[in-house]
Chains A and B, each alone.
Chain A
Amino acid sequence: MDAIIIETIIKAIIVLSVIAALAGFGTFIERKVLAFMQRRLGPMHVGPFGLLQLAADGIKLFTKEDIIPQHANRLIFMIAPIITAATAFIALAAVPLLPEFTLFGYTVHPIVADLNVGILFILGAMASGLYGPLLAGMAQANKWGIIGSARTAILFMSYEVVTGLSLLAPIMLVGSLSLIDFNNAQSGGIGEWMVWQQPLAFILFLIAGFAETNRTPFDLLEHEAEVVSGYATEYSGMRWGMFFIGEYANMITIGFMASLIFFGGFNDLGFIPGFLAIILKVSFFFFLMLWVRASWPHVRPDQLMWLCWKVLMPIALLNVLITGLVMMV
Chain B
Amino acid sequence: MGLEKFKDRNVGIQQYKVVEHEAFPKSNAQKFARVMKRMVKGELFVGLWVTLRTMYQALFQDDMHTVKYPFEKLPISPRYRAIHEMLRLLESGHYRCIGCGLCEKICISDCIKIDTKYDENQRKEVTEYTINFGRCIFCGYCAEVCPELAIVHGGRYETSSQQRASFSIFEDMLTPIDALSSQKEYPGFGAVSPNADDNIKKTPLAY
Contacts and interface: CB of A to CB of B under 8 A. Distances in A.
Contact of A39 (B44, B47, B65, B68): B65
Nearest to A293: B51
Given A36-B58, A36-B59, A291 B64 contact: no
Interface of A: 33, 36-41, 44, 291-292, 294-296, 311
Nearest to B63: A39
A39 B48 contact: no
A39 B54 contact: yes
B33 interface: no
Contacts of B169: none
A37 B48 contact: no
Contacts of B59: 36
A44 B59 CA distance: 14
A311 B36 CA distance: 11
Nearest to A42: B66
B66 A294 contact: no
Interface of B: 35, 44, 47-48, 50-52, 54-55, 57-59, 63-66, 68
Contacts of B66: 39-41
A40 B50 CA distance: 15
A295 B49 CA distance: 9
B44 A296 contact: yes
Given A37-B55, A39-B54, A296 B64 contact: no
B55 A36 contact: yes
Contact of B51 (A40, A41, A294, A311): A294
A33 to B, nearest CB: 7
A47 to B, nearest CB: 16
B52 to A, nearest CB: 7
A197 to B, nearest CB: 21
23 contacts: A36-B58, A36-B59, A37-B51, A37-B54, A37-B55, A38-B54, A39-B54, A39-B57, A39-B58, A39-B63, A39-B64, A39-B65, A39-B66, A40-B58, A41-B64, A41-B68, A291-B48, A291-B51, A295-B44, A295-B50, A296-B44, A296-B47, A311-B35
Contacts of B58: 36-37, 39-40
Nearest to B39: A311
The 6 nearest A-B residue pairs measured at CB:
A295-B47, A39-B65, A41-B66, A37-B51, A295-B51, A36-B55
